[in-house]
Homo-oligomer: A and B are copies of this chain.
Amino acid sequence: MTGKNRSVAGTPATSRTAIPPGTRDVLPEEMRELRAIGGRMRAAFEDAGYGEVHTPALEYEEVLLRGDERAAGARYRSFDEQGAVLALRSDMTIPIARVVATRYAGVDPPLRFSYLAHAWRATDRGVGEPREFLQAGIELIGVPGAEGEAEVVALTVEALNAAGLKRHRVGVGDGQLYRSLLSSFGVSAEAHMPLLETLSRRDLVGLEAQVSQLGLDDAKRELLVRLPELRGGRDVLDRAEELPGGGAAGAALEGLRGLHDLLSQRAVADRVIYDLGMVRELGYYTGAVFEVYDPAVGFTLGGGGRYDELIGRFGRDLAACGLALDVQRVHLAQAAEEALGAEEPA
């Protein structure tokens, strides 16, 4: 029997059974693999002392916006019985910041939390964007600076090892570097956002055109155009300093060199790509930012960074740093690695 035989009130069968774009039904064969990958990452986090937490999918929108007011339009909103606005969480970092400030208000840091949970985002940013995604992630609370960042990057590499990946890389940048250069060069705050948006799209040609219109001297213009092109091993940190005017980036580069030393001690430095043009779109990052790649696939597997001011918005000032991986994308990367491995025997 086909759906057409049972059509009700003229509704076509497809719309009677359709699911929203950006969502999917996961069937048993794939589900087994997603469970296995998620479970292995969760175990890696747990073994490293990161206890799993779960928070409500629906929270008061007012509370979530306290964490990141720029995310306002991108949420699914509903109402409770009293008319208060509820929203679906768009990440787990903001809810965990709330949990730290409330349920752990009297507990001394450091605190280590993990999660394996769904989050939801509006798909107006582009066709094919997922509306719902399963994230595996960690939050390290109360360990400031490079020490915290090195722990988060190293555990990310380890969790992806556990998930069966072999070619994964973590991109590391400084989310404040470009902003602080613009400020120190006297570029007005209103002009920052279009530049940062172009940069976050990795549109280096467009960036050069925009930078040329800022009316800066040659050395400053050259630095703003060349710095985001630098991407690679530790040597890019030295090459950045050698750029004309590169001294202006000195403090950020010094911070990344310190992080590199700690990553070397943890034997994961060969997994890291320094990327001086990296800008993460979430508003709460205050320092180092991370993106996770696998050369077998053309999309990022996840990302994160340092967010030293977020937990304070819920009432407790604590430095923090975290990273989230998209479990479905990790699964696709693992399958792609296997396919490539079959093509290129070792």
- Write the residues of chain A forming the contact surface with B, with a CB cutoff of 8 angstroms: 1-3, 5-6, 8, 13, 15-20, 23-29, 31-32, 34-35, 42, 46, 51-60, 62-63, 66, 76-78, 80-81, 84, 86, 88, 95, 98-99, 101-103, 105, 113, 118, 120, 122-124, 131-132, 312-317
Q: Is the Cβ of A123 less than 8 Å from the Cβ of B31?
A: no
- Complex alpha-carbon distance, A32 and B45, angstroms: 12
- Complex alpha-carbon distance, A1 and B106, angstroms: 9
**Of B5, B28, B58, which contacts A20 at CB under 8 A?**
B58
Q: Is the Cβ of A102 less than 8 Å from the Cβ of B17?
A: yes
- Complex alpha-carbon distance, A5 and B317, angstroms: 11
For residue A17, give the distance in angstroms from its CB to the closest CB of chain B.
5
For residue A232, give the distance in angstroms from its CB to the closest CB of chain B.
38
**Of B17, B23, B59, B118, which contacts A101 at CB under 8 A?**
B17
Chain B residue nearest in CB terms to A123: B81
Q: Is the Cβ of B66 less than 8 Å from the Cβ of A52?
A: no
**Of B8, B20, B60, B88, which contacts A84 at CB under 8 A?**
B20
Question: Can you list 30 pairs linking A and B with CB atoms under 8 Å apart?
Answer: A1-B315, A2-B315, A3-B105, A3-B314, A3-B316, A6-B312, A6-B313, A6-B315, A13-B315, A16-B63, A16-B314, A17-B63, A17-B101, A17-B314, A18-B60, A19-B55, A20-B56, A20-B59, A20-B84, A20-B86, A23-B59, A26-B55, A29-B51, A31-B53, A31-B54, A32-B46, A58-B120, A58-B131, A58-B132, A81-B124
- Complex alpha-carbon distance, A59 and B24, angstroms: 10
**A315 — which chain B residues lie within 8 A by C-beta?**
1-3, 5-6, 13, 16-17
Tally of this chain's copies: 2
**Of B27, B63, B313, which contacts A103 at CB under 8 A?**
B27
Chain B residue nearest in CB terms to A318: B1
Q: Is the Cβ of B54 less than 8 Å from the Cβ of A20?
A: no
**A58 — which chain B residues lie within 8 A by C-beta?**
20, 23, 76, 88, 120, 131-132
- Complex alpha-carbon distance, A56 and B132, angstroms: 7
**Residues of A contacting B: mostly:** mixed
**A131 — which chain B residues lie within 8 A by C-beta?**
56, 58
